[in-house]
Every structure is written in C-alpha cells, then in structure tokens.
Amino acid sequence: MTIDLNSRYGLNPAHSEVVEACKVIEPCDTLDMGCSNGRNALYLGQLGFNVTAIDINPAAIDSLQGIAQQEGMSNIKAQVHDINSANLSKDYDFISCTVTLMFVNPANVDAIIADMHQRTLPGGYNLIVCAMSTEETPCPVPFPFTLKAGQLSEAYAGWELIKYNEDVGTMHNGAKLQFATMLARKPV
C-alpha cells in the first residue's frame, strides 16, 4: 500500500489537476514551478516521476528538501529559483505550473511561457492553472497577473489541447473567480 506522504507531513493533497494529469502522463522528467511546500512534488515523486521542484521561497524549498531527504526520495530535487527570470536550465517531459503564474511580474509572462515551450521536449506536456480576469468576471483577488479570455489557448497555438477550460467558480465568500485550466501536449 502507498503511504500518503502529504498527510504524514500535514500537507494538502496534490492539486486535483496534477492528479488528473497523472492519469495521462507516464512518470518522466518533470518540473514543478512554484512548488511551495511540495504537495504536488511529493505526489509526483511517489508515483515515480523524476521531479525538479522550484520556488522563490527558500523556507518552502528547505522544507521540501527535508521531507525528500527524510523519505530517501532521491527523485525529488528542490531548488530556489525565480520564475521571473524566464531562464529554465534544462529540458523536461512535463512542466506543471498550478496556481503560480498569477504571482509573477506581468511583464515577464510571455517570456516565461516561451521558455516553458522551449524547455519542453517534443511530445511533452505543460499543465497550467491560473486565475483570470474578464469583463464578465473581474478577478476579486488582487493578484499581480491574471489571464484574459482566450489568452492561454492562444499562447499554446500549435499544441494539442488535451484539456482546456476557463470555468468560473465560487469562493467561500460567494465571490466569482475564473480560472484557466490547460493540459497541452507539444507536437512531436
């Protein structure tokens, strides 16, 4: 039986879209962008993915490194890295960026996505979940960056969109919050 490491270390379960993506993607070289305390990296690592987990927060990286060491998971590498640099240092089969893009500098978003494209191997995958702000549903949270309607699908023109939606959800306080959710596959 697989031990639930997220529970053991008091972490939330992996993001539901990471769990869904793992039904499509076989274990491979994976980048977790904005990994925070590692809920997704640990889930992926337990499934046998070879994970590089990056975050700008050194405390989050320390914590994830500690867990990976404690569990003897040499397939998880956690590194402090500023996504704003748009300068990933290696190629990956799968790049996951869940609820992170809205915290970067808006001026860097095009370069960050272009770098993700470049650093994805042919036939590889990108998963992005990011808040939106549209005329119909203005974002009620002051994130530094939000996507416009259709912006993410346009940025991935030429890729196979395995999953794409711009669904509106409801927050605990009743406010409407729209998210773009995309799993895309780079042409081989």
Ligand X SMILES: C[S@@+](CC[C@H](N)C(=O)[O-])C[C@H]1O[C@@H](n2cnc3c(N)ncnc32)[C@H](O)[C@@H]1O
Which residues make up the interface to ligand X (CB under 6 A)? 15, 34-36, 39-40, 55-57, 60, 82-84, 98-100, 103-104
Least CB distance to ligand X at residue 28 (A): 18
Q: Are 179 and 15 in contact (CB under 8 A)?
A: no
| C-beta nearest to ligand X: residue | 34
Between 38 and 124, CB nearer to ligand X: 38
Beta-bridge partners for 178: 132, 168
- Distance, CA of 104 to CA of 176 (rounded, Å): 22
Between 83 and 116, CB nearer to ligand X: 83
Least CB distance to ligand X at residue 92 (A): 15
Least CB distance to ligand X at residue 103 (A): 4
Between 60 and 88, CB nearer to ligand X: 60
Between 13 and 150, CB nearer to ligand X: 13
What phi, psi does 112 have (nearest 5°)? -65, -45
Between 37 and 120, CB nearer to ligand X: 37
- Distance, CA of 186 to CA of 2 (rounded, Å): 31
Least CB distance to ligand X at residue 40 (A): 5
Least CB distance to ligand X at residue 46 (A): 16
Beta-bridge partners for 80: 55
